[in-house]
């Protein structure tokens, strides 16, 4: 076998394809991503002023902040793919890739920065599927960074000031709410506050919901100690809210990460919203800052902080009379267990897992309380019993439900053996669990069906008054998946059809 010749090679990367793949990890559009990452990078740099300027003639949008600016090393890393000077757990920007994603919308990007030790500018553009840039002198004098995006789409939402304002409110709502915005000053996250401008128009603090029945501010306290670890606002709206506003948003450093129902089922859930700012959650963010890490020590920390928010949220629901009907929650699994026990009789594949009814013949007790008979090695040993035609002390018994069982006579016995058929119901137990870290709607654990109340589908069923239907469907999905790995869908159809006829 010929040996390989030693030679130096360069590992190549198709930048456009790589950025396309990274963009797929975002829940929102690339236009929103550009705004969110631009603001996040400015906040990470300590900015107290962030301005957006739309130029309709040039089809561009520029973002200027008064943060600390970039050092020479920062500026070099800024242009290198996936390079960043940011330390994990200390910021809300996307680890050096956020700025590069904007190239998916732009023909070129102009960047200017100035810091105490360095100032420079660059023109950044596509050359086929790779990015190239040229450096120049910075166009700004004060510390900060200015980035202008020249857009490919001349009708892009980024050129609409109203859309920009709505996007800022959606993703950075706590920074626009009067009391929550002060919390960032008090705890020194943003000691000078944060002010936004769009085309020189200042965006002022405002109520996050226009028509409300009640609003409450709550400190989120640690398990021990009195110093708050966060601040929350809970709102009961006068009218039903858009779906994306329902539930409580977990935020960190002003950035909205995700909304949760915490597995609770409040009355009028379609009118309930809120924001809970927990600065320490910044250390639990995933790489793309779209979610929280749920495994290992970081996952444990996230769950602990999340549960503290759930605690104050539950207390508020109780205070306004919208708390969960605990008795209804307890009864729901019992009703479902009874229904599933009946259903499993109709679907043999599920009956194989748990069975529906078990018929067992049990020896009758004597008047003194002792057992008249017990079974051993296929025989019933009795204290009595006679039958005509016995030979050698053995008695043949007519074939019955327990075929093959015979009786053996005891010389001291006087009570004939009798057995009574006892019917017992078997079937899966049902438990409601709050597992936001799992993507499963339901699953089997030992002999129990676990239904995930933290799943978005469960939350949606709550809002639409379809909880019982969802619980039934979720239970069937878990049973059918466990019963038949390869034909679970077909079995699910059969189970639903059988349930509908029952």
Residue 193 lies in a domain: no
Question: Across the beta sheet with 406-408, what order do the strands follow?
Answer: 373-376, 379-382, 406-408, 394-395
Which position has the higher pLDDT, 490 or 102?
102
- Whether 143 is in a domain gets the answer yes
Considering only residues 77 and 248, tell me which one the structure prediction assigns the higher pLDDT: 248
Domain count, the chain: 4
How far is the C-alpha of 264 from the C-alpha of 204, rounded, in Å?
34
Decide which of 421, 442, 462 is a domain's last residue: 421
Shared-domain flag, residues 55 and 149: yes
Integer angstrom CA distances of residue 459 from 73, 260, 266, 450, 494: 47, 9, 11, 16, 26
Whether 45 and 80 map to the same domain: the answer is: yes
**Distance of alpha carbon 221 from alpha carbon 276, whole angstroms:** 12
Most confident residue range from 85-94, 303-312, 406-415: 303-312
36 assigned to some structural domain? yes
What's the mean pLDDT in 357-386? Answer: 45
**pLDDT (tens digit per residue) in 142-200:** 999 999 999 999 999 999 999 999 999 999 999 999 999 999 999 889 999 999 999 99
Which of 251, 253, 305, 290 is closest to 273 using CA atoms?
Answer: 251
Distances (CA, A) of 486 to 12, 236, 482, 489, 490: 40, 46, 10, 8, 9
All residues at 6 or more sequence positions from 320 whose CB lies less than 8 Å from its CB, including other chains:
214, 216, 236
Beta-bridge partner residues of 132: 125
- When pLDDT is averaged across residues 230-243 and rounded to a whole number, the result is 94
Summarize the chain as % helix, strand, coil (round to 5).
35, 25, 40
Strands laid side by side in the 247-252 sheet: 212-220, 230-237, 272-277, 247-252, 255-260
Q: Which of 387, 406, 421 is the last residue of a domain?
A: 421
CB atoms within 10 A of CB 153: 12
Residue 453 lies in a domain: yes
**Is the domain of 63 the same as that of 109?**
yes
pLDDT band at 225 (very low <50, low <70, confident <90, very high): low
260-273: pLDDT as tens digits:
988 787 888 899 99
Question: What pLDDT sits at residue 439?
Answer: 83
**Residue 50 shares a structural domain with residue 143:** yes
**Would you say 398 and 382 are in contact if contact means Cβ atoms under 8 Å apart?**
no
Give yes or no for residue 304 having a pLDDT over 80: yes
Residues 6+ apart with CB under 8 A from 162: none
pLDDT at 250: 96
Same domain, 440 and 490: yes
- Mean pLDDT value across residues 79-93: 64
Instruction: Give percent above pLDDT 90 in the chain.
Output: 41
Q: pTM of the full predicted structure? A: 0.66
Number of other CB atoms surrounding residue 470 within 10 Å: 21
Are residues 44 and 151 located together in one domain of the fold? yes
Are residues 436 and 401 both part of a single domain?
A: no
In this model, does residue 453 exceed pLDDT 70? Answer: yes
Work out whether the CA dihedral 349, 441, 433, 240 comes out positive or negative. negative
Who contacts 130 (Cβ-Cβ below 8 Å, separation ≥6)?
A: 14, 15, 16
Q: Which of 11 and 429 is assigned the larger pLDDT?
A: 429
Q: At what angle do helices 326-343 and 488-501 cross, to 10 degrees?
A: 100
Q: Which residue has the higher pLDDT, 55 or 434?
A: 55
| pLDDT (0 to 100) of residue 498 | 58
Same domain? For 460 and 479 the reply is: yes
Kindly state the average pLDDT of the residues 222-251.
90
Mean pLDDT of 308-324: 87
Is residue 144 within 8 Å of 113, Cβ to Cβ? yes
**Contact 168/39 with Cβ under 8 angstroms?**
yes
In a domain, 152, yes or no: yes
Report the candidate in 231, 215, 319 with the shortest Cα–Cα distance to residue 273. 215
Asked if residues 316 and 234 have their Cβ atoms less than 8 Å apart, the reply is: yes
Torsion angle, alpha carbons of 344, 349, 352, 355, to 10: 10
**How far does CA 227 lie from the centroid of its chain?**
28
How far apart CA 128 and CA 317 sit, in angstroms, is: 56
Assess whether pLDDT exceeds 50 at residue 380.
no
Kindly report the CA angle at 215 between 210 and 217, in degrees rounded to 5? 125
> Does the residue 405 lie in any domain?
yes
Does 236 share its domain with 290?
yes
Q: Is residue 180 part of a domain?
A: no
% pLDDT > 70, the chain: 70
| Residue 189: inside a domain | no
Regarding whether 60 and 110 lie in a shared domain, the answer is: yes
Quick one: 488 and 401 in the same domain? no
User: Is residue 329 a contact partner of residue 432, using CB atoms and an 8 Å limit?
Assistant: yes
CATH of residue 218's domain is 3.30.230
Say how far apart CA 396 and CA 301 lie, in whole Å: 69
**Residue 385, domain extent:** 362-421
Residues 342, 367, single domain; the answer is no
């Amino acid at each position: 076998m010929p040996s390989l010749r030693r030679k130096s090679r360069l590992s190549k990367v198709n930048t456009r394809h790589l950025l396309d793949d990274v963009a797929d990890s975002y829940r929102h559009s690339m236009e929103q991503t550009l705004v969110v990452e631009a603001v996040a990078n400015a906040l990470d740099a300590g900015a107290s002023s962030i301005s957006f300027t739309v130029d309709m003639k040039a089809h561009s949008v520029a973002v200027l902040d008064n943060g600390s600016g970039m050092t020479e090393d920062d500026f070099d890393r800024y242009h290198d793919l996936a390079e960043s000077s940011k330390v994990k757990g200390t910021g809300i920007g996307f680890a050096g890739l956020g700025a590069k994603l904007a190239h998916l919308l732009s023909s070129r990007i102009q960047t200017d920065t100035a810091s105490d030790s360095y100032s420079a500018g660059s023109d950044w553009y596509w050359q086929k599927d790779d990015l190239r840039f040229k450096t120049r002198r910075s166009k700004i004098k004060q510390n900060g960074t200015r980035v202008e995006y020249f857009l490919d789409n001349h009708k892009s939402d980024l050129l609409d000031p109203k859309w920009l304002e709505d996007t800022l409110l959606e993703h950075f709502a706590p920074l626009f709410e009067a009391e929550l915005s002060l919390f960032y000053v008090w705890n020194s996250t943003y000691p000078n506050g944060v002010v936004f401008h769009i085309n020189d128009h200042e965006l002022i603090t405002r109520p996050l919901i226009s028509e409300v029945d009640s609003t409450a501010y709550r400190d989120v306290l640690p398990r021990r100690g009195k110093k708050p670890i966060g601040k929350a606002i809970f709102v009961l709206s006068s009218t039903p809210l858009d779906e994306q506003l329902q539930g409580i948003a977990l935020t960190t450093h002003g950035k909205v990460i995700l909304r949760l129902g915490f597995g609770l089922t409040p009355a009028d859930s379609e009118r309930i919203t809120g924001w809970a700012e927990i600065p320490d959650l910044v250390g639990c963010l995933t790489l793309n800052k779209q979610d929280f890490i749920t495994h290992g020590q970081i996952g444990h920390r996230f769950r602990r902080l999340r549960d503290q928010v759930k605690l104050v949220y539950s207390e508020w629901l109780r205070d306004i009379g919208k708390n969960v009907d605990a008795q209804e929650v307890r009864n729901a699994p019992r009703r479902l267990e009874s229904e599933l026990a009946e259903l499993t009789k109709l679907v043999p594949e599920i009956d194989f897992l748990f069975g529906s009814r078990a018929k067992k013949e049990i020896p009758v007790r004597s008047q003194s309380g002792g057992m008249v008979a017990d079974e051993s090695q296929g025989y019933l040993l009795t204290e009595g019993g006679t039958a005509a035609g016995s030979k050698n002390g053995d008695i043949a018994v007519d074939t019955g439900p327990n075929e093959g069982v015979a009786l053996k006579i005891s010389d001291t016995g006087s009570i004939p053996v009798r057995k009574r058929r006892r019917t017992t119901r078997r079937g899966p137990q049902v438990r409601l669990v709050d597992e936001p870290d799992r993507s499963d709607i339901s699953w089997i654990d030992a002999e129990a069906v676990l239904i995930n109340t933290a799943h978005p589908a469960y939350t949606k069923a709550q809002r639409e008054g379809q909880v019982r239907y969802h619980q039934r469907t979720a239970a069937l999905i878990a049973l059918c998946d466990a019963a038949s790995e390869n034909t679970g869908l077909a079995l699910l159809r059969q189970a639903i059809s059988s349930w509908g006829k029952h």
